[in-house]
Copies of this chain bind each other. A is one copy, B any other.
Amino acid sequence: MLTAPGPVPSVTTPGPVVALDIGGTKIAGALVDAAGGILARSRRPTPAREDAETVLGAVEAVLADLAASPLWSAAGAVGIGSAGPVDAVRGTVSPVNVPGWRDFPLVERVRRLTGGRPVSLVGDGVAMTAAEHWLGAARGHDNALCLVVSTGVGGGLVLGGRLHPGPTGNAGHIGHLSVDLAGDPCACGGRGCVERLAAGPHLARHALDGGWRPGPDGDASAAAVARAAGAGHPAALAAFERAARALAAGIAATAHLVEIDVAVVGGGVAGAGEVLFAPLRRALADYATLSFARGLTVVPAATGTDAGLLGAAAAARA
């Protein structure tokens, strides 16, 4: 038990909050101050193939590291951003890539591990969005979509100046909008989802199918495809073009559905820079056709690899 020595500080204190970023490969934790400064941090690999309690053990180890900080006792609420799906109403998580956790009561378990501190839970796409709205490229925008284009495609929404996590904390799942209703089957059970067309592994597969080949280092990642596209390889360019069109259709759908004025794109695939953003902007003009969507801009994310922790901290303060 990582019980604070005295009474747990109130959520409204200007002191730090405890942030947890839970993914399929790593579990990160931090103490984050009111300005977004990271005062202490820890991370462990996610034992993703192990049983539920072993996975929780990694969370407990991260919290123990943070509790060793002299600032721990001043830390108030806890915010968790977790790989989804999550259920913020019941406080449970069922991360696709962590099979041992199905409807796992993470909120209650973390509450007990942190001396009864109040715990907030959002999905990882919502957390990244909270971070970009607080400190990144969506700052000052009242209506925004933020996306993470990586091994999968996730996202979150800001509507009317506030984070819109939805009733269960899952809103903004842009990766599973079908933009090709008779297209290839997606891991989610649907067809032609944005993720199926734009996520890194699918993008790289499309380049391979088109005749692109990795170099001597054998690197067949989306980053390697991006380098080939930058050098003008037609199959690599075609793979980014296809991903960009899928992302554009999904972003335009969001603009037509809820009205947004900016789309912020982060994640490893977005690291390709103009190789992705140039065709994305072109394609957006083809799909965001209605008058109220024409001012929409697309920009790179700004909060970097700490987005999950900063977003979890924002959720704790909300």
Q: Which A residues form the contact surface with B (CB < 8 A)?
A: 85, 87, 94, 142-143, 157, 159, 164, 166-168, 170-174, 176-182, 186, 188-191, 245-246, 249, 252-254, 256-259, 286-287, 289-292
Contact = CB atoms under 8 A, between A and B. Distances in A.
A82 to B, nearest CB: 13
27 contacts: A85-B290, A87-B291, A143-B166, A143-B167, A159-B159, A164-B258, A166-B258, A167-B259, A170-B290, A170-B292, A171-B258, A171-B259, A174-B256, A176-B289, A177-B252, A177-B253, A179-B179, A179-B180, A179-B181, A180-B182, A188-B290, A190-B289, A191-B287, A254-B257, A257-B257, A257-B258, A258-B258
Contacts of A249: 178, 181
A291 B85 contact: yes
B257 A289 contact: no
A286 B190 contact: yes
A167 B291 CA distance: 13
What 4 A-B pairs are tightest by C-beta distance, nearest first? Answer: A166-B259, A189-B289, A177-B253, A173-B256
A258 to B, nearest CB: 5
Contacts of A157: 257-258
Given A173-B290, A287-B190, A253 B178 contact: yes
Nearest to A142: B167
A291 B291 CA distance: 34
A245 B290 contact: no
A266 B140 CA distance: 37
A142 B189 CA distance: 27
A257 B290 CA distance: 19
A47 to B, nearest CB: 23
Given A257-B254, A258-B257, A286-B191, A291 B94 contact: yes
B259 A177 contact: no
B256 A176 contact: yes
A248 to B, nearest CB: 8
Contacts of A246: 181
A195 to B, nearest CB: 11
A252 B189 CA distance: 12
Contacts of A176: 256, 289-290
Which of A164, A178, A286, A289 has its CB near the most chain B CB atoms (within 10 A)? A178
A241 to B, nearest CB: 12
Contacts of A253: 177-178, 253, 257
A178 B188 CA distance: 19
B292 A190 contact: no
